[in-house]
Structure 1
Amino acid sequence: MDLKKCIEACQRCAVACETCITKMVDMGGDSACIEHCRDCVAMCQLCAMAAARESNALEKFCKLCAELCETCAQTCGDMEHEHCQECAKACRECMDVCQQTATSCCG
């Protein structure tokens, strides 16, 4: 099990979501996009920390992280802005890695 992949995917996703939030706020943009990005950032940070410490609850963290990443990817993916598309891509990648980690770490 490669927890480094999970940590790095979560960190990339959190950065992409923070960038999206900043640009959307500057534009006076869509509140659903901002809300989903905020949830995603928070969960990605928690998941990365849980993976780093090899938490006994890692499967739960990864499953919830994947779920929130999927929601964010759908919301941002529907937007035309380049930063939203980049965010959606990072969210989909993080979702995939977190799903794999949840399966491989814990059954």
Structure 2
Amino acid sequence: MLLVHEEYQSSFDVAMRCAVECEHCAEACMGMSEMMQCARSCLDCAEICRTVATYMVRGSRYIPHLARACAEICEACAKECEKHNAEHCKKCAKACRDSVEEYRKIASVTAV
């Protein structure tokens, strides 16, 4: 029998990978005035991904609700990063797209 948090292990991994890539992208973009929107989007995305990962660890009943918000924020971050040719932006956009797919699956589950 899986513990509640174990049900979300692969989703947790996706969320944390996105958070890490977003943090890396934000760090690389900071200090460049033309990349400030990218850095801000990445920081917002990293924060929400860490938050949903924490909810997953606890097996919170609010995960589907939070996943909907996460999908929206990750989608916006991916779109921002896709405007740029930097390798870190490409990696971030990919991690965000993977997260969007995962979060949409979770969000489709009816919350208790």
Common topology (TM > 0.5)? yes
Residue aligning to 1:81: 86
Provide the secondary structure at the position in 2 that maps to 1:104: coil
The answer on 1:20 being equivalent to 2:25 is yes
Equivalent position amino acid for 1:99 in 2: R
Q: Contact 2:29 / 2:39 at 8 angstroms: preserved in 1? A: yes
Residue aligning to 1:48: 53
Task: Kindly state the Cα deviation for residue 103 of structure 1 after the two structures are TM-superposed.
Answer: 1.5
Q: Contact 1:5 / 1:97 at 8 angstroms: preserved in 2? A: no
Question: In structure 1, how many angstroms separate the alpha carbons of the residues matched to 2:73 and 2:11?
Answer: 15
Residue aligning to 1:9: 14
Question: In structure 2, how many angstroms separate the alpha carbons of the residues matched to 1:37 and 1:102?
Answer: 21
After TM superposition, the score normalised by the length of structure 2 is 0.87
Q: Contact 2:62 / 2:111 at 8 angstroms: preserved in 1? A: no
Structure 1 ranges of 4+ moved more than 3 A: 26-29, 104-107
Task: Kindly state the Cα deviation for residue 104 of structure 1 after the two structures are TM-superposed.
Answer: 3.4
After TM superposition, the score normalised by the length of structure 1 is 0.91
Task: Kindly state the Cα deviation for residue 101 of structure 1 after the two structures are TM-superposed.
Answer: 1.4
Total equivalences in the alignment: 107
Pick aligned residue for 1:66 from 66, 71, 75: 71
Q: Which runs of 5+ in 1 are unaligned?
A: none
Flag the structure with larger Rg. Answer: 2
Q: Contact 1:3 / 1:101 at 8 angstroms: preserved in 2? A: no
Task: Kindly state the Cα deviation for residue 26 of structure 1 after the two structures are TM-superposed.
Answer: 5.2
The answer on 1:57 being equivalent to 2:62 is yes
Q: Contact 1:16 / 1:87 at 8 angstroms: preserved in 2? A: yes
